């Protein structure tokens, strides 16, 4: 414990970059320069992200550096939508560039001592965000694996050790390890060494340990808990940034991760590799020469002056023509379509849009499932990305696609957005009805029955959003889909959704920034949580509301973790008990309201 406390003690940061302070977190810049074999005191002109599930409001985005180094294509796709001034380079996780603190013989000796080892990573907070979860419950979950493993280690964040939380885990007999203070130069070296000795890793959240483990070739599984993140408002910090960090936690628990990492596997599956390739940059590790080239390009652009990477949208063409072809070639390689095709699907997926690739794919899948005579309506058509997706999904069906936009509001742009819309959607022009003008006025007078409504115009004031949404609510069919964009970024969009759409929702298909649900036009009565394990109570609810519809929205489940021993295998299986669920009560359609 004395050694643990020593490497966790507060230290004065050893800044290897006094301009880009965040590059020193986890000694990321130091590690990359050491790997590329360049002067350790040279200050990079590229900002380094130190996380995977980050929000747009990040220090790396606004600093005076011409390039951002990110982990993955996921982060490249995300940030590239918001800046054309900066170069964005996916380089894979930093742990891939770290060294082991122990030599091969020492590691083998330690692995022999530990035997089959389970390495656990509880969710940690930071100085500005406090993390709350039931540690005793998590320890009981870990204890249930004792028969399967020879040893269990718990890797704690240095703040948690300084707060004394390690004593709870030690009480259950777990060995405590840590990578130390985030400003230790050997932070990632120590973390890589700890990973090297593990047979399997686990965590109670989806985050860094998952990606690092798979990048190290070690199986990982999640045992989710109810985790509360509390923002410390007393600290002097960027309020919006850190509040968005709290929101981004919900994003990191994306359904795709829970679906693929909550099942115990003794080997890393191909699907898990695909996920880590996209989210964490598995396989994107650069050679020392490639890193040097990136650093040189950043230095050249920086030497031209800030105006070339902070203000001028055409800085590549105007300032560094010698590098423009190489840079554009790199970007083209990175912009691979998530809707896999060499022709029309790929072209549609690359239409500029504020929709992410995953959001485009989600819309495409849901719209494609619509059957019969289909009416799709969208507001805020802009350059035609979502309209083209709808056209592609409905191309073999009896469908009408209504695109409502007030293109005059885009007159301040350098491009003719209406012209671009027509060019991007021309292949589907026979199915598309374009309506240019005031969306509220047009929607009020439009006489149609809607199967899929996508609101993607207004997202600033509540009044604007209501004017765009409300005229359509009486026109949507029973069991139609309603989608609304900017849900994650706009509190006003959330308020409108909660007031008008949540009571109508009976089946969710939402992504973090794209709220989608199948809706009912029944009259909403009430909602509450119940314990589904209490069958008698559930029957009582059904009997009490026998003249009503009792609906369980599937994505609003609260799960608790229980561990059961399999009858067919010595391997423990994770079972999700539907302990708490949201119940909504509606009056049926034939009931007079």
Give the domain ranges of the chain.
11-95+284-334, 101-280, 344-519, 523-587
Which residue did the predictor score with more confidence, 84 or 585? 585
Distance CA 434, CA 266 (A): 54
Asked if 471 and 464 count as a contact pair (C-beta separation under 8 A), the reply is no
Exposure on the CB side of residue 259, measured as CA atoms within 13 A: 6
Which residue did the predictor score with more confidence, 591 or 428? 428
Pairing of β 220-222 and β 228-231: unpaired
pLDDT of residue 315: 34
pLDDT of residue 473: 93
Pairing of β 476-485 and β 450-455: parallel
For residues 170-201, b (16+ Cβ closer than 10 Å) or e, as one string? eebebebbbbbbbbbbbbbbbbbbbbbbbbbb
pLDDT of residue 317: 36
Exposure on the CB side of residue 153, measured as CA atoms within 13 A: 24
Q: Which CATH class is domain 344-519?
A: alpha beta
pLDDT of residue 357: 72
Strand partners, 563: 574
pLDDT of residue 236: 43
Q: Which tens digits make up the pLDDT trace of 282-323?
A: 999 999 999 998 898 888 878 877 665 654 333 333 333 433
Which residue did the predictor score with more confidence, 421 or 574? 421
Which residue did the predictor score with more confidence, 232 or 429? 429
Q: Which tens digits make up the pLDDT trace of 119-149?
A: 999 998 776 677 888 899 899 999 999 999 9
Judge whether 101-280 and 344-519 match in fold.
yes
pLDDT of residue 252: 43
pLDDT of residue 458: 81
**Scanning the structure block, which residue is given the tokens 């985030």?**
182
Handedness of CA 59, 93, 328, 344 (dihedral sign): negative
pLDDT of residue 53: 58
- Model confidence at 106: pLDDT above 80: yes
Q: Which of 430, 426, 449, 425 is nearest to 377 (CA)?
A: 449
Asked if 141 and 222 count as a contact pair (C-beta separation under 8 A), the reply is no
For 101-280, the fitting CATH number among 3.30.1330, 3.40.50, 1.10.3710, 2.50.20 is 3.40.50
> Average pLDDT of the chain?
78
């Amino acid at each position: 414990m004395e050694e643990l406390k020593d490497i966790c003690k507060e230290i004065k940061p050893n800044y290897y970059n006094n301009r880009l302070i965040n590059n020193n977190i986890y000694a990321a810049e130091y590690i990359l320069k050491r790997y590329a074999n360049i002067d350790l005191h040279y200050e990079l002109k590229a900002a380094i992200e130190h996380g995977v599930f980050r929000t747009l409001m990040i220090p790396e985005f606004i600093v005076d550096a011409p390039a951002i180094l990110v982990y993955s294509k996921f982060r490249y796709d995300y940030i590239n939508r918001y800046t054309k001034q900066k170069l964005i380079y996916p380089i894979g996780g930093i742990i891939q560039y770290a060294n082991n603190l122990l030599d091969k013989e020492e590691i083998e000796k330690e692995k022999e001592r530990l035997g089959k080892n389970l390495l656990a990573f509880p969710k940690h907070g930071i100085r500005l965000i406090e993390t709350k979860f039931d540690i005793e419950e998590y320890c009981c979950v870990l204890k249930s694996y004792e028969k399967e493993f020879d040893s269990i280690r718990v890797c704690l964040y240095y703040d948690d050790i300084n707060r004394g939380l390690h004593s709870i885990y030690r009480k259950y007999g777990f060995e405590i390890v840590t990578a130390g203070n985030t400003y230790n130069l050997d932070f990632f070296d120590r973390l890589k060494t700890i990973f090297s000795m593990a047979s399997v890793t686990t965590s109670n959240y989806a985050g860094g340990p998952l990606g690092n483990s798979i990048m190290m070739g070690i199986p990982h599984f999640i045992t989710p808990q109810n985790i509360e993140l509390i923002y410390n408002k007393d600290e002097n910090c960027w309020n919006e940034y850190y509040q968005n960090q709290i929101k981004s936690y919900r994003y990191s628990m994306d359904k795709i991760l829970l679906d693929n990492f909550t099942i115990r596997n003794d080997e890393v599956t191909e699907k898990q590799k695909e996920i880590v390739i996209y989210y964490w940059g598995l396989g994107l590790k650069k050679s020392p020469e490639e890193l040097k080239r990136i650093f040189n390009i950043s230095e050249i652009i920086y030497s031209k002056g800030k105006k070339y990477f902070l203000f001028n949208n055409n800085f590549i063409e105007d300032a560094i023509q010698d590098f423009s072809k190489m840079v554009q070639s790199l970007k083209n390689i990175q912009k691979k379509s998530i809707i896999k095709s060499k022709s029309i699907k790929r072209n549609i997926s690359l239409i500029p849009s504020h929709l992410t690739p995953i959001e485009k794919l989600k819309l495409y899948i849901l719209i494609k499932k619509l059957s019969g005579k289909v009416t799709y309506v969208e507001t805020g058509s802009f350059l035609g990305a979502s309209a083209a997706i709808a056209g592609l999904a409905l191309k073999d069906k009896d469908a009408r696609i209504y695109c409502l936009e007030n293109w005059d509001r885009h007159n301040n742009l350098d491009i003719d957005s209406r012209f671009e819309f027509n060019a991007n959607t021309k292949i589907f022009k026979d199915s598309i009805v374009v309506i240019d003008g005031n969306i509220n006025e047009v929607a009020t007078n439009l006489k149609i029955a809607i199967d899929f409504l996508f609101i993607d115009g207004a997202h600033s004031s509540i009044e604007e959003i209501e004017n765009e949404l409300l005229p359509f609510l009486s026109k949507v069919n029973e069991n139609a889909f309603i989608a609304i964009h900017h849900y994650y970024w706009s509190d006003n969009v959330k308020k409108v959704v909660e007031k008008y759409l949540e009571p109508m929702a009976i089946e969710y298909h939402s992504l973090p920034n794209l709220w989608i649900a199948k809706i009912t036009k029944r009259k909403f009565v009430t909602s509450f949580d119940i314990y589904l394990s209490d069958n008698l109570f559930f029957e009582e609810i059904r009997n009490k509301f026998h003249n009503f519809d009792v609906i369980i929205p599937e994505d609003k489940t609260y799960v608790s973790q229980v561990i059961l021993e399999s009858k067919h295998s010595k391997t423990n299986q994770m079972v999700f008990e539907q302990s708490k669920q949201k119940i909504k009560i509606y009056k049926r359609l034939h009931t007079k309201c």
